[in-house]
């Protein structure tokens, strides 16, 4: 199945032209020609079956012959709100891996102990997009604008809200004790150095349930990915 | 709890001197002094309680006052045999994360479609060691020498042997359908481009069970980490 990522394509469209890069890939690498069938995915869950009607190095013209919506629809909704790491590579790595495994939204949250207060959202978005292409995801995860934890806690709504903090001795539960399958989940992951006690209190006052990801010491991006793995596993 | 990683320390030893770097950390950063208690971990599951008896910038002398073996003993054994990725950063990243989450052995396996046939084992070992320190693991995972898949299949023994391949339509099961808790597990993860059909056949002939990690398309290092997460989760 030859799949192209085409975020500028919409279900009502009947004809589409691959961009120069994809046209070249289509003709030179895949060696496809007129009459061959390819598939297009728009990152919003629509899969398009298309037939090549014209072909050149720079432009491959397609007729859309079949449209399937809610392709590979996910059976739950996961938003991971995570403090950007001091070393941005680590959060970029998380974005790539979470996209491969399955995530709906990522929300960068700036915390009291965050060493990094600013992120380049366009760059992070590109990391997600390339992971969407590489892992052939039907849905492009949403990257929400970064905001402070206090603003985030005021705004947020979700079925199950959880905060993963590291204060030993405090009562915390595993994800599987806190969620039901096919739910709408929001998991908050803190910065290097954890949330401050005041931040944890504020989250608990806003109906976040305290969460543990196990008894090993995880980096911020590892904890975020562990939560992503566990939620997808529990919704398998 | 001030914890130092001291792989050159053994249970019978009664006195120990921190190396220059750790001595400086102990006196300048942690501001510890004579009479203070620190903990040492040897990477072989022994935790040492020690009291500072002498102190200088370069040398902090310790009396071992208590030794606990099998500290944080893991309740299962996991060996992940993985084809090194073309981009070595990806496998290094896997080593760091797997160490944080919990793994006992990593075995680099060179496959038919491996674009990378050579690895620098000392470099990979250093990545594991720094993750052991950072995540305060009691056990330093073993990095086995790299070997070819055929040699590996001849040598290997384990309770549950699994191979994660990507051939759609072939019968494959989830890890939780294949393993019992507290077992000895060996999971084989292929290179970019997957195992060859002949390699899969050879593995099945050697009692490897075909494994799926879900229906999303995962990179080599992501698949290896997903397997590591799942095994640890199932043994929680």
Residue A154 has pLDDT above 80, yes or no: yes
Counting DSSP H helices and E strands in chain A, the numbers are 7, 12
Q: Copy the structure tokens of residue A154.
A: 């005021």
Q: Are residues A215 and A163 in the same domain?
A: yes
Which residue of B75, B76, B93, B101 to mutate against A (max A Cβ within 10 Å)?
B101
Under an 8 A CB cutoff, do B97 and A230 touch? no
The pLDDT > 70 percentage for chain A reads 100
Contacts of residue B215 in chain A, CB cutoff 8 Å?
72
The pLDDT score that the predictor gives to residue B142 is 97
Final residue of a structural domain among B17, B36, B68? B68
Number of domains in chain B: 2
Residue span of the structural domain in which B217 resides: 77-234
A chain contacts of residue B231, beta-carbon cutoff 8 Å: none
Give the mean pLDDT of B32-59.
Answer: 95
Given this model, what pLDDT does residue B114 score?
Answer: 93
The pLDDT assigned to B104 comes to: 97
Averaged over A172-189, what is the pLDDT?
96
Distance CA A81, CA A103 (A): 11
Do both B106 and B200 map to the same domain?
Answer: yes
Q: Could you tell me the end-to-end alpha-carbon distance of chain A, in angstroms, rounded to an integer?
A: 24
Query: With b meaning 16 or more CB within 10 Å and e meaning fewer, what string describes A182-199?
Result: ebebbbbbbbbebbbeeb
Pick B154 or A189 by higher pLDDT: A189
φ/ψ of B41, rounded to 5, equals -130, 135
Write down which residue in B33, B68, B103 finishes a domain: B68
Q: Are residues A56 and A151 in the same domain?
A: no
Residue B94 and residue B58 share a domain: no
- Of B39, B68, B97, which residue sits at a domain end? B68
pTM above threshold 0.95:
no
Angle formed at CA B228 by CA A76 and CA B111, multiple of 5 degrees: 115
Structure tokens at A216: 């090993």
Please give the Cα distance from A161 to A208 (Å, whole number): 5
Contact B135 A216 (CB under 8 A): yes
pLDDT at A210: 96
Average pLDDT value for residue range B183-196: 95
Is the same domain home to A227 and A157?
yes
A216: pLDDT strictly greater than 90: no
pLDDT-based confidence at residue B215 (cuts at 50, 70, 90): confident
DSSP reduced 3-state for B124: helix
What is the CATH classification number for the domain harbouring B36?
Answer: 2.40.240.20
Structure ipTM over 0.90, yes or no: yes
Is pLDDT of B35 > 90?
Answer: yes
Q: Tell me: the pLDDT tens digits for A5-18?
A: 999 999 999 999 99
Exposed e or buried b per residue across B34-69, where buried means at least 16 C-beta atoms within 10 angstroms of its C-beta = eebebbbbbbebbbbbbebeebeeeebbbebeebee
Phi/psi at B62 (nearest 5 deg)? -125, 140
Q: Is A92 on the interface with B (CB under 8 A)?
A: no
Q: Is B102 on the interface with A (CB under 8 A)?
A: yes
Q: Is the pLDDT of residue A158 over 80?
A: no
Confidence of residue B155 (pLDDT cuts 50, 70, 90): confident
Question: Are residue B113 and residue B183 in the same domain, yes or no?
Answer: yes
Q: Are residues A11 and A121 in the same domain?
A: no
Same domain, residue pair A97 and A151? yes
The whole-number pLDDT of residue A167 equals: 86
How does the average pLDDT of chain A come out, rounded?
94
Q: A185: number of CA atoms within 13 Å, CB side?
A: 33
For residues A23 and A116, state if they share a domain. Answer: no
Q: What is the CATH number of the domain that holds A183?
A: 3.40.1280.10
Q: Are residues A128 and A100 in the same domain?
A: yes
């Amino acid at each position: 199945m030859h799949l192209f990522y085409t975020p500028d394509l919409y279900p009502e469209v009947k004809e589409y032209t691959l961009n120069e890069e994809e046209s070249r890939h289509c003709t030179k690498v895949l060696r496809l020609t007129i009459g061959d069938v390819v598939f297009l995915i728009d990152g919003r869950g629509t899969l398009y079956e298309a037939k090549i009607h014209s072909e050149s190095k720079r432009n491959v013209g397609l007729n859309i012959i079949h449209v399937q919506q809610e392709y590979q629809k996910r059976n739950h909704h996961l938003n991971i709100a995570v403090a950007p790491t001091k070393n941005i590579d680590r959060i970029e790595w998380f974005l790539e891996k979470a996209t491969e495994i399955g995530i709906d939204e990522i929300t960068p949250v700036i915390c009291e102990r965050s060493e990094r207060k600013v992120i380049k959202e366009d760059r992070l978005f590109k990391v997600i997009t390339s992971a969407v292409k590489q892992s052939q995801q039907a849905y492009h995860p949403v990257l929400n604008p970064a905001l402070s934890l206090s603003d985030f806690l005021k705004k947020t709504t979700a079925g199950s809200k959880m905060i993963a903090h590291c204060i030993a001795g405090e009562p915390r539960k595993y994800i599987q004790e806190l969620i039901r399958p096919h739910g709408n989940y929001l998991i908050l992951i803190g910065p290097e150095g954890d949330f401050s006690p005041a931040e944890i209190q504020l989250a608990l006052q806003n109906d976040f349930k305290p969460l543990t990801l196990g008894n090993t010491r995880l980096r911020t991006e590892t904890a975020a990915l562990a939560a992503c793995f566990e939620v997808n596993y529990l919704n398998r």
